[in-house]
Amino acid sequence: MEAWRQQYGESVLQPKENLDVASDPVVFRRDGLDPVTLVGWKKVARVDQETGDTVYVYVGPHGQNCADLDEAFAVYDSSVDLERGGPGKKAQQKLTFIEELLKIHQVTETVARDE
C-alpha cells in the first residue's frame, strides 16, 4: 500500500463521517415524480446571532440564498425554465403510473346527449 501511496498519492475515497453537509448533493423529492438534484446548490450551516442555534440555508450557484428546500427548488426550477427558453416552453413532466393508466382508459365518447 505504501508503494501505491507514493506512486499515486492519498486515496480519493473518504469515509462518510468526514464529509460535511455542504458536500452532499441537494435533492428535492416530489410525490409521484422523480427526485430532482439541484445542481450547483449547497446546504450551508449558519449560526443565528441572536439565539446561537444552527440554521441551514440553501445557497445557489449564483449566490441565491433560500431559507428552505421548497424555496430553493422554486428558484432552481425558474432558472432551469429560463434555460429551456422561457415560461411557455416548460418541459413535460413524467406522468405517474396511475395518471398514465387513467389516460389510457379515459372515455372519449359522448356520455349524454342534449335531446
Domain boundaries, the chain: 19-104
pTM comes to 0.51
Q: Mean per-residue pLDDT for 76-97?
A: 63
Residue 89 has pLDDT above 50, yes or no: no
Q: What is the mean pLDDT of the chain?
A: 75
How many CB atoms neighbour CB 49 within 10 A? 6
Distance separating alpha carbons of residues 32 and 96, to the nearest angstrom: 6
pLDDT of residue 17: 42
**Distances from the Cα of 77 to the Cαs of 10, 61, 63, 87, in angstroms?**
38, 13, 16, 11
Residue 90 has pLDDT above 70, yes or no: no
Residue 68 has pLDDT above 70, yes or no: yes
* CATH topology for the 19-104 domain: Methyl-cpg-binding Protein 2; Chain A (3.30.890)
Residue 18 has pLDDT above 50, yes or no: no
Q: Mean per-residue pLDDT for 14-23?
A: 46
pLDDT of residue 48: 80
Distance separating alpha carbons of residues 5 and 86, to the nearest angstrom: 51
The widest CA-to-CA distance across the chain, in whole angstroms, is 91
Q: Mean per-residue pLDDT for 61-68?
A: 88
